[in-house]
A = this chain, B = another copy of it.
Amino acid sequence: MAGDRFVGPAPLSVLVDALKRLPGVGAKSAQRMAYHLLQHDPHGARMLGQALGDAVDRLRHCARCNTFTESEICETCASPRRDASLLCVVETPADQNMIEASHSYNGLYFVLMGRLSPLEGVGPNEIGFDRLLARATDGQVREVILATNFTTEGETTAHYLAELLRAQGLGVTRLARGVPAGSELEYVDAGTIAWALMDRRAP
């Protein structure tokens, strides 16, 4: 649409273009965001500007688990209370947060910061599986728990990693598939029901 091309003073069009770099933000939302910040939240705009610079300047990848951290080694990896024989592989720090929130895991993590996606040209080299391999074969890790998403790409990643890690003699497991806690079967999709039947267990 013609109206998608932004016309306006330079600092505004530069801001709109910069906002369009955010994932999921198109021309229209970028304009809406810019107007909102300038009209209703200039303080928020300044805070966000500062936060972006600070984050890029101060964060790097943990040398052990690859998550974002301010130090060489993140707090989790540095903790003596963690079980170093368990390594849980997740796609993103958000997934790690979800697992931590379950209060049911006390091992360590490796954060892929992505997943295999042949269609988007993301192969094993782009994800840095060599770093995971080095981490998993440190002599302490006994079991690697694959907790990538249950999407096509997450499953592909899990299958690939399972072969890679089993070839090193490591125990490899995957999060259980099944009916979510609190679900009514009527509202659970058929694929999940099929999984739950296949993996049925003694009550």
Contacts and interface: CB of A to CB of B under 8 A. Distances in A.
Contacts of A33: 22-24
Secondary structure dominating the interface of A: helix
A122 to B, nearest CB: 11
A172 to B, nearest CB: 25
Interface residues of A, number: 63
Interface string A1-17: 01101111111101101
B11 A54 contact: yes
B69 A9 contact: yes
Contact of A31 (B31, B44, B69, B94): B94
A36 interface: yes
Contact of A48 (B35, B38, B52): B52
A11 B49 contact: no
Contact of A42 (B42, B49, B56): B56
A107 to B, nearest CB: 17
Interface string A106-130: 0000000110000000000000000
A151 to B, nearest CB: 15
Interface of A: 2-3, 5-12, 14-15, 17-19, 21-24, 28-29, 31-39, 41-42, 44-59, 67-70, 74, 92-94, 97-98, 100-102, 113-114
